[in-house]
Chain A
Amino acid sequence: MTVAIDAQGLNKSFGGRRVVKDFSIRVDEGRITGFLGPNGSGKTTTLRMLCGLLTPDSGTGTALGFDIISESWEIKRRTGYMTQKFSLYEDLTVEENLQFSARIRSLDRIGERVADALEQLGLAERRKQLAGTLSGGWKQRLALAVATLHEPQLLLLDEPTAGVDPQARRTFWDEIHTLAARGLTVLVSTHYMDEAERCHDIAYIAYGELLARGTAEEVIAGAKLATWRGEGPGVDRLAGELLRDPAVEMAAPFGLALHVSGGDADRLERALAPYQRSPFRWARTEPTLEDVFIHLMSRVPDNFQ
């Protein structure tokens, strides 16, 4: 399998604050890799460095076989980038936005490509509508169409589904998988756990450092986390009490249930012993991705305070 992205030791600081620290990653071609991590963890900065929008302070890397520092132009030609904020021209129509993107990338058969994209998007009837007047879900689909109009080999998506309804998100992810099936490499940053599970691979970043890497199963297994699920009236209010025990690394309510996790299963069990009584019912459970991420995050000192 060919490597689409191979970066080593990337660093980036803004105003003396190190946003990305010794970041290394390899991404295979045709894979969808999810970048997860808390806000301000350097996901956007990393994506921008990989497509030549930011120059790393140090470190090296290639994307699609081109150097991310000296050959960023070649990368840009072959990459589609969808920014966090809707960043198409709101005062241009749907069709004009597509045409602009096609021209700036010197594509051939512009009319044909734009017509195809409009057809696929289901926006053929609304092609004369100003992009700014589209609803959130449509804006996002248009942005994806613009980012993939030139048939890129690499697609970078920065929180593409923020503020989009579940149905539109599902359609969006179906499209991403269709594109990946054709060999497109996708890097997507997200906060949604269900989206993380839709990715082939996960890279968990917190405060500029890569903390976990692999498939969802590998990441969960790698965390070596013991999790108990508690049920019963008032169990969700025990979190504060339980957290006083150092064996309890995480206690988070899930609706009416409570997930309690810790790295040491035996100590965790002892910590829970006093609560093994009515009306509470406890059961050992597989940690979810979210449990793992909250666990990973709690181990990293927050350098943003």
Chain B
Amino acid sequence: MSAEPRQPNQAFSLERTGAVLIKEFIQLTRDRITYALILAVPVIQMLLFGYAINTDPRHLPTAILVQENSVFARSVVSGIANSSYFDINHQVRNAAELDELVRTGQVQFAITIPGDFTRRVVRGDRAQILVEADATDPTATGSALAALAQLPREALRRDLTGAVAPPADPEQPFEIVVHRRYNPENITAYNIVPGLLGIVLTLTLVMMTAIGVTREQERGTMESLLATPVQPLEVMIGKLAPFVIVGMIQTALILIIGRVLFGVPMAGGWPGLILGTTLFIIGSLGLGFLISTLTRTQLQAMQLSVFYLLPSILLSGFMFPFRGMPDWAQWLGTLIPVTHFLRIVRGALLKGQGFADMGPSLLALAVFVCAVAALALARYRTTLD
């Protein structure tokens, strides 16, 4: 009756391989989020990070304090501005203002041209200008400081001809004194360890909650849960609270290891650090919860978490200098909570910033928490619709 089947090849059959292959392709296109991410991830990440990341940051905000009004001082200032590494956007009148700008992180560099600059240059008497760099991120300041080495030779070349007597050393009419503040030894770990705190918290907390809630949906326990009188806020708080403790433990571990093994300074700023960490942990958990309301499977939740994690690593100033990025990327970066958290952690540990200095970053995190919680609660359904 039945036709004799073709004798299949037991060892390897292209047909069978093809059957599996076709099935995989079909399944891939069925999962719309995965499909979208497969296409979106390379394109978005390439465009975003290809253009945004720059390890040779230029146009860094610089404050300048000029204590004498002279031709030489103006030449030095324009020499600095022409290097393209420094954007002089603050002219201050006293050292206190200068210090404030560096401490709050509004400028990367603070340059002081002293009142006796011209006199000393002319007399060949060790004329100096002082460059203070916010060296919390050594990568951000490295190339700019290297470029300054050229300045003494070039800046006064035209002014030091003719009437003015030649200085003692025409190659080096003045010297530049560099103070690397907050990280005088240029230790990368000082910058990376506090940054890691933000990345580790994001990685574990966003992912754990995103997966934790979708797991209930996948296993069907969510249906049983919804059939009970439990309210959305109760589920949210109940599910997230344990992870607040997980986040706190991780924070303590990273800080202790950072201190003991890497000698990361802890300049103070504890109240701001504690508040900032709490806000960041709650916000990250809320975000994970929000992701879980947008996805159906644990795999999708995982993928969306990674999609969020990548810019958190690359655009937040964790891996590459924030100020090295073009304006649009910096603007995108300020939308990422990790960016603000990193500023708080680095500000506290390395600079000992107080509440007031961290104000804008703390405010940004508070907005993040409120927005994410509101969205998550709005998305969470007490029904299966």
The 5 closest A-B pairs by CB, nearest first: A87-B220, A81-B227, A85-B220, A87-B224, A77-B229
Residues of B within 8 A of A101 (CB): 228
Return chain A residues, CB-CB under 8 Å to B383. 52-55, 72
The reply to whether A104 and B385 form a contact with Cβ atoms under 8 Å apart is no
Q: Which of A90, A104, A106 contacts B219 (CB 8 A)?
A: A90
Question: Does B226 have its Cβ within 8 Å of any Cβ on chain A?
Answer: yes
Residues of chain A with a CB closer than 8 A to B227's CB = 51-53, 76, 79, 81, 83
Inter-chain contact A89/B385, CB cutoff 8 Å: no
Q: Map CB proximity to B onto A266-290 as digits: 1 under 8 Å, 0 otherwise.
A: 0000000000000000000000000
Task: Knowing that A54-B385, A55-B383 touch, tell me 7 more A-B residue pairs with CB under 8 angstroms.
Answer: A48-B384, A76-B228, A86-B220, A87-B220, A88-B224, A89-B221, A104-B228
CB distance from A222 to the nearest CB of B (A): 33
How many Å lie between the Cα of A51 and that of B219 in the bound state?
Answer: 20
Q: Point out the residues of chain A lying under 8 angstroms from B385, CB to CB.
A: 54-55
Verify if B230 is at the interface (C-beta below 8 Å from A). yes
Measured between C-beta atoms, what is the minimum distance from B162 to chain A in Å? 86
Contacts of B223 in A (CB 8 A): 53, 83, 87
Report chain B residues within 8 Å CB of A104. Answer: 225, 228-230
Chain B residues with Cβ under 8 A from A54's Cβ? 383-385
Q: B: which residues have CB within 8 A of A?
A: 219-221, 223-230, 382-385
- Which residues from 74 to 131 on chain A have a C-beta closer than 8 Å to any C-beta of chain B? 76-77, 79, 81, 83, 85-90, 101, 104-106
10 A–B contacts, CB within 8 A, in A order:
A48-B384, A76-B227, A76-B228, A81-B227, A83-B227, A85-B220, A90-B219, A104-B225, A105-B228, A105-B229
Instruction: Determine the distance from Cα of A81 to Cα of B383 in the docked complex, in whole angstroms.
Output: 14
Q: Does A73 contact B (CB under 8 A)?
A: yes
Contacts of A79 in B (CB 8 A): 227
B220 cross-chain contacts in A, Cβ below 8 A: 83, 85-87
Please name all residues of chain B whose beta carbon is closer than 8 Å to the beta carbon of A85 when the two chains form the complex.
Answer: 220
A105 to B226, CA, bound (A): 12
**What residues on A are CB-neighbors of B382 within 8 Å?**
72
What's the nearest-Cβ distance from chain A to residue B172, in Å? 72
Residues of B within 8 A of A83 (CB): 220, 223-224, 227
Chain B's nearest CB lies how many Å from the CB of A75?
Answer: 9
* Shortest Cβ gap from B1 to chain A (Å): 16
Given known A83-B220, A87-B219, contact A53–B226 (CB-CB < 8 A): yes
Using CB atoms, name the residue of chain A closest to B224: A87
For the complex formed, measure the closest distance between the CB of B334 and the CB atoms of chain A, giving whole angstroms: 39
On chain A, the residues within 8 Å of B224 by CB distance are 81, 83, 87-88, 146
Complexed CA–CA distance, A23 and B224 (Å): 24
**Beta-carbon nearest neighbor of B225 in chain A:** A104
- B221 with A88: CB separation less than 8 A: yes
In the bound complex, how far is the Cα of B224 from the Cα of A79, in angstroms?
11
Measured CA separation A90–B221 after assembly (Å): 9
Q: Which of A131-146 contact B (CB under 8 A)?
A: 146
User: In the assembled complex, how far is the CB of residue A8 from the closest CB belonging to chain B, in whole angstroms?
Assistant: 20
For B226, the closest partner residue in chain A by CB is: A53
- Cα A215 to Cα B229 in complex, Å, equals 33
A85 to B216, CA, bound (A): 13
Chain A residues with CB below 8 A from B225, complex form: 104
Shortest beta-carbon distance from B196 to chain A in Å: 31
Chain B residues with Cβ below 8 Å from A53 are: 223, 226-227, 383-384
Measured between alpha carbons, how far is A85 from B221 in the docked complex, in Å?
9
A52: chain B residues at CB < 8 Å are: 227, 383
A101 to B224 alpha-carbon distance, docked (Å): 10
Shortest beta-carbon distance, B218 to chain A, in Å? 10
Give the residues in chain B near A55, CB-CB below 8 Å. 383, 385
8 Å CB contacts to B: which residues of A170-225? none
Q: Which residues of B contact A88 (CB under 8 A)?
A: 221, 224
Chain A residues contacting B219 (CB-CB under 8 Å) are: 87, 90
A48 to B385, CA, bound (A): 10
Q: Which of A76, A87, A89 contacts B229 (CB 8 A)?
A: A76
Contacts of A89 in B (CB 8 A): 221
* C-alpha gap A48/B226 in the complex (Å): 11
State the CA gap A105–B228 with chains docked (Å).
7
Query: How many angstroms between the C-alpha atoms of A83 and B224 in the bound complex?
Result: 7
Distance A89 CA – B221 CA, assembled complex (angstroms): 7
User: What residues of A have a CB within 8 angstroms of the CB of B384 in the complex?
Assistant: 48, 53-54
Query: In the assembled complex, how far is the CB of residue A51 from the closest CB belonging to chain B, in whole angstroms?
Result: 6
Rounded to whole angstroms, the CA-CA distance of A173 and B240 in the bound complex is 39
